[in-house]
Structure 1
Amino acid sequence: MNATRPTPSSAASTWPIFVLLAIAGLFYVKWFPYYNRAFTAASTHSIGASILMGKASSPPAPSWSAALAYALAYGKAIWQAMLLGLLLGSAVQALLPAHWVARLLGKTGFGSVAAGGLLALPGMMCTCCAAPVVAGLRARQASPGGAIAFWLGNSVLNPATLVFMGFVLGWHWAGLRLVLGIAMVFGLGYLANRLVTPTEAQAADARLVELVGEQRDGNPFARWLSIFARMAVRLVPEYIVLVLLLGAARAWLFPQVGPEIGNEIVWIVALAVAGMLFVIPTAGEVPIIQAMLSLGMGVGPAGALLMTLPPISVPSLAMLARSFRPRVLTVVAVGVVAFGVLAGLLAVALGF
């Protein structure tokens, strides 16, 4: 997918508003709160209770009350970031010139993957809150690999989470996450770009020409409001339903937490799959793993959760089902599980 030549549009003068929204929103929702939380992590070696099971020794039995309790706790933790994600995802499509996204992220080489991964670093969003932005990037013809790298990089390479992890779990865990996270973000992004067919690349170029033409006319702010409303109506209801279902099913996904979950390969694979399916807020994996290790769970399953809890989930996969081919999302899901298994095996081999 090749970027087209710049064309004047109604969005050419609104990009500073997008930049201001991104900086102000991320500062309020992410940067400032995480700055303060880092001091808490350093002094107490904790960032709170596990959202998976609170102060209990295991998740609650499957029920609608468990579903509602988890949905409320999760919603309280992420609603501001989700709102920001919807605002940014719609603003990408309305306030930025269409060719800008394609120029930076639209090609199918490694350059767009590298750009997507690096742009994710200041975002620090959980997988579901980053999903609307990813949908906006794909709507503006970002390559699959560039968008996947941005999506995964937000949670896996989150600098704040790495700091929390170092203070709470130990810097060896943070190092494992960083090394495998870099491989996951840029490796799976590159693989996604390799799956692009010539026909898809030509279709993306043709669609980009249409988008540039569409932006020449109309009020960009009215377009922003319209896109925001469409994204919210399409993404939020299915997101809420899936979070409720996962909240109810967490006792099935994590049926036991304790010494009985050892370093056997079956447990590592099982926890890798469960972590890939489940949904958590940003940095939620840190107290979850801390609580599980304190109850005697093996380091192998903990390593699996380290790499699979944050990057994707059933809700975020559903939110992006229209933005990527099923084959791409399947490859990403399988790849995340594979990295989780690798992390578990390395944690055991390195004597964590």
Structure 2
Amino acid sequence: MAHTTNHPVQQESMSGKKAAIFLVIFLIIAAAGLSYVKWWPYYQKTILAATTHSIGPSILGEHASSTPSWHAAWSYAIAYFNSVWKAAVLGILLGSLIQVLLPAHWLLKVLGKTSFGSTAIAGLAAVPGMMCTCCAAPMAVGLRKKNVSVGASLAFWLGNPTINPATLIFMTFVLSWKFTLIRLFFGLILTFGVSYLANRFAKDTKPLDMEQVISHSEENQPTGSFLTRWAKALGMMLLYIVPAYILSVLLLGFVSVWLFPNLSGAAAVGILAVIGFAITGMLFVIPTAAEIPIIQTLMSFGLGGGPAAALLVTLPAISLPSLLIVGRSFPKKVLLFVASSVVVLGILSGLAGMLIL
């Protein structure tokens, strides 16, 4: 009898050890990948920003032509993917590994609630990631596959680009501390406030029985060997992410001359420019920290502080490609709320910029 009673306990202990091992493996892979793709390169870029007050030319170039062309689209896509491909590969890799390595019961206990606590933990977990919105999107997809709450998944996705500490440091050296404060203030609102409120737009906002949710989630986990489950998760991500990603980047490169017109005089400093660039920034796609040289270049051509501040918040936050990547993972009402919130916060940021920049 004693042996029969202890058997489930032994099984639970073995399961707990296995989950801990998988968690450690995931953290090692994530840390190694981020060290190679983000942390070490950003350390070098910090030195560059501090000594030269620049982190390189604008990815948009000089926009000599005012007519869209597929040559411009291709050129932008090449420049963009040359900049992000390593981070994009890492994002897809980690997004697939989240689904097969991270224990569902642990994730749901920490990030499965619609409370502000789950949102806050996910937002803080995003800080060391420092991914751009498109590279963080596959990880948000992976979290949603594990039934992590809408608010927590969004906070992780939005927090990666908007409260990126490296970008804030670059910004201080290249632009000014005023830009940094504006970005941090509105980035925190977006990461923690908008993400938390987005829970209300999900289908079920009532308190859940977490034990029941965890049990249901574990019962519905994919079966088979680790390699089989990982190959399936990775294959699904590649199938749904890569084609839409490439095509939308090409499309935005094609229309970029319309999205970033050469403004001068009153048109470059007014409220209409703030609104226009808030919408543009929400749609357009850039690599991590590319908003800094874009703003630096546009301001050298006469763009005012208000429109520049609008781009400061909206350019990195989300984009059309990243919205397409996460489109199957979040309710449409949630994504509409997030996109609208980014534009509104961009306009408010622009108004703040008109006053203090």
Give the structure-1-normalised TM-score. Answer: 0.92
Aligned residues: 345
Find out whether 1:166 has 2:172 as its counterpart. Answer: yes
- Give 3-state SS (helix, strand or coil) of 2:108's partner: helix
- Identify, as 1 or 2, the structure richer in helix: 2
- Which among 208, 229, 254 is matched to residue 248 of structure 1? 254
Q: Is the 8 A contact 1:106 1:146 kept in 2?
A: yes
Q: Give the C-alpha shift of residue 196 in structure 1.
A: 3.4
The equivalent residue for 1:142 is 148
Q: Structure 2 vs 1, CA of residues 324 and 59 (structure 1 numbering), >3 Å: closer, same or farther? A: farther
- Which among 291, 304, 307 is matched to residue 301 of structure 1? 307
- Which among 47, 53, 56 is matched to residue 45 of structure 1? 53
- Which among 312, 315, 320 is matched to residue 314 of structure 1? 320
The one-character-per-residue Cα deviations of 1:7-26 (angstroms, maximum 9, x if unpaired) are 93865532222111100000
Which residues of 2 match residues 1-352 of structure 1 at below 5 A? Answer: 8=15, 11=19, 13-52=21-60, 54=61, 56=62, 61-198=67-204, 208-215=214-221, 217-259=223-265, 261-350=267-356, 352=357
Q: Give the C-alpha shift of residue 47 in structure 1.
A: 0.4
The one-character-per-residue Cα deviations of 1:305-347 (angstroms, maximum 9, x if unpaired) are 0010001000000111111101000000000001100111011
The one-character-per-residue Cα deviations of 1:234-266 (angstroms, maximum 9, x if unpaired) are 100110000000000101111224445332211
- Give 3-state SS (helix, strand or coil) of 1:48's partner: coil
Question: Which amino acid counterpart does residue 142 of structure 2 have in structure 1?
Answer: G
5+ unaligned residues in a row in structure 2: which ranges?
Answer: 1-11
Q: Give the C-alpha shift of residue 348 in structure 1.
A: 1.0
Poorly superposed stretches of 4+, deviation over 6 Å:
203-207
Q: Is the 8 A contact 2:114 2:205 kept in 1?
A: no
Rg bigger for which structure?
2
Q: Is the 8 A contact 1:282 1:310 kept in 2?
A: yes
- Give 3-state SS (helix, strand or coil) of 1:309's partner: helix
Mapped to 2, the partners of 1:199 and 1:301 lie a distance apart of 36
Q: Structure 2 vs 1, CA of residues 178 and 86 (structure 1 numbering), >3 Å: closer, same or farther? A: same
Mapped to 1, the partners of 2:279 and 2:209 lie a distance apart of 34
Question: Which amino acid counterpart does residue 22 of structure 1 have in structure 2?
Answer: A
- Kindly report the root-mean-square deviation, in angstroms, between the aligned alpha carbons of the 2 structures: 2.2
Q: Structure 2 vs 1, CA of residues 93 and 222 (structure 1 numbering), >3 Å: closer, same or farther? A: same
Identity of aligned residues (%): 49
Mapped to 1, the partners of 2:209 and 2:343 lie a distance apart of 31
Mapped to 2, the partners of 1:304 and 1:279 lie a distance apart of 15
Mapped to 2, the partners of 1:58 and 1:160 lie a distance apart of 31
Question: Which amino acid counterpart does residue 22 of structure 2 have in structure 1?
Answer: T
The one-character-per-residue Cα deviations of 1:60-94 (angstroms, maximum 9, x if unpaired) are 63111111100000000000000000110010000
The one-character-per-residue Cα deviations of 1:269-326 (angstroms, maximum 9, x if unpaired) are 0110011000000001000000011111111100100010001000000111111101
5+ unaligned residues in a row in structure 1: which ranges?
Answer: none
